[in-house]
């Protein structure tokens, strides 16, 4: 069977459906090329000397792994000279990274988590790259962009996606016209469209949450998981299965393909009040994909894509996946905190 390439898909989107501009198309191609390079580096593992920690901390106070930093460098280098960006922001960099003056500047902003699932890097479990593309606000024309120009709600994303480095390397992408999954043919070096128009089943009987945090959860989350655990004889009337990979890309990838609900909720720990996951380069791109696939994504009470960010590294609670189940959890939150 002949598969469409990523380039062909993007050219068609640009020409026929006008869902992507020429410079965003080029930008997505550049990001996807960087993901190929990250995939190659990840797959070398111990043979490439890329495992282990660097001993440095990122802005969130997390120990950086060698591959976190290498992946960040690959994305920066690939995207600096192409002419479609004004600046980038990354989980691994405290401040935004404006395009150096030696290169032409464009009208887009790129945000990324270069290697998500850092705790899985050294144990050969799936990890990934998450990215989000925004446009430079109109009032920034003719001046250097600042962090404030990045602070746009997720509804303004023009494209988002992730690459997952697992048994296969895949790129899952939305330009606002559904969700497409491309598998990397590593012999040819091409991304081939293998998963067209991914849709999340509305119902599910599978949840993903780190159960070791149960004692810190808020009441609506406790109530929902408790009802799942009661199975057939409980109020939800069915038996639930549980999965937790601890790589959001891998958990979301499963949910896009067979349904489910993913939760990294806010909790009562001092470090958990705002949630663990980052709004602008983790929650927003994943929420865009999930909504484009027919699912829902909330922070507990509110739609994630509507949140007005206050900072590039801001955190949020994340509950996303199959529509009916996310709406149930939202209703449980609204019952205690009316919207």
The site for ligand AHM (CB under 6 A) is made up of 62, 91, 113, 116-119, 210, 246-248, 264
When the beta carbons of 32 and 118 are compared against ligand AHM, the nearer one is: 118
239 binds, among Mg ion, ligand AHM, none (CB under 5 to 8 A by kind): none
Q: Rounded to an integer, what is the distance from CA 121 to the centroid of its chain? A: 17
- Phi, psi dihedrals of residue 171, rounded to the nearest 5°: -115, 125
Three-state DSSP state, 18: coil
Closest CB 195 distance from Mg ion, rounded Å: 23
Residues 249 and 164: beta-carbon distance below 8 Å:
yes
Q: Binding to Mg ion by residue 92, rule CB under 5 A?
A: no
Q: Please state at what angle helix 284-292 crosses helix 248-258, rounded to 10 degrees.
A: 10
Give me the sign of the Cα torsion angle 15, 21, 23, 28. negative
Dist CA 37 CA 76 (whole Å): 12
Closest CB 43 distance from ligand AHM, rounded Å: 18
Closest CB 130 distance from ligand AHM, rounded Å: 8
Closest CB 140 distance from Mg ion, rounded Å: 27
When the beta carbons of 36 and 65 are compared against Mg ion, the nearer one is: 65
Residues 265 and 326: beta-carbon distance below 8 Å:
no
Which residue's Cβ lies closest to ligand AHM? 248
Closest CB 284 distance from ligand AHM, rounded Å: 14
Q: What is the DSSP letter of 169?
A: E
User: Residues 100-139 vs Mg ion: string with x where CB under 5 A?
Assistant: -------------x--x-----------------------
Q: Rounded to an integer, what is the distance from CA 143 to the centroid of its chain? A: 29
Residue ranges binding Mg ion (CB under 5 A): 113, 116
């Amino acid at each position: 069977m002949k598969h469409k390439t990523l380039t062909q898909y993007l050219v068609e989107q640009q020409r026929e459906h006008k869902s992507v501009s020429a410079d965003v198309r080029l930008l997505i191609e550049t990001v996807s090329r960087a993901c190929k390079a990250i995939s190659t580096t990840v797959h070398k593992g111990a043979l490439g000397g890329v495992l282990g920690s660097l001993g440095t901390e990122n802005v969130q106070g997390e120990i950086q792994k060698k591959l976190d930093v290498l992946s960040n460098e690959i994305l920066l280098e690939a995207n600096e000279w192409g002419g479609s960006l004004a600046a980038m922001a990354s989980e691994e960099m405290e401040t935004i990274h404006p395009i150096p003056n030696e290169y032409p500047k464009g009208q887009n902003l790129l945000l990324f988590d270069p290697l998500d699932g850092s705790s899985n890097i050294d144990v050969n479990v799936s990890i990934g790259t998450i990215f989000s593309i925004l446009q430079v606000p109109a009032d920034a024309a003719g001046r250097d962009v600042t962090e404030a120009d990045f602070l746009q709600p997720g509804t303004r994303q023009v494209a988002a996606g992730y690459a997952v480095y697992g048994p296969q390397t895949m790129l899952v992408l939305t330009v606002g016209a559904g969700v497409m999954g491309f598998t990397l043919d590593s012999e040819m070096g091409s991304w081939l469209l293998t998963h067209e128009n991914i849709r999340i089943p509305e119902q599910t009987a599978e949840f993903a949450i780190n159960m070791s945090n149960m004692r810190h959860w808020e009441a609506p989350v406790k109530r929902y998981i408790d009802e799942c655990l009661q199975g057939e004889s409980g109020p939800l009337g069915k038996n639930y299965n549980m999965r937790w990979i601890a790589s959001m890309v891998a958990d979301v990838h499963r949910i896009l393909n067979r349904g489910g609900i993913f939760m990294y909720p806010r909790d009562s720990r001092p470090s958990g009040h705002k949630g663990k996951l980052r709004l602008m380069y983790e929650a927003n791109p994943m929420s865009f994909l999930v909504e484009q696939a027919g699912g829902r994504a909330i922070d507990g009470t509110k739609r994630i894509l509507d949140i007005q960010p206050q900072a590039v590294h801001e955190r949020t609670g994340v509950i996303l996946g199959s529509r009916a189940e996310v709406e149930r959890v939202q209703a449980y939150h609204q019952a205690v905190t009316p919207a």
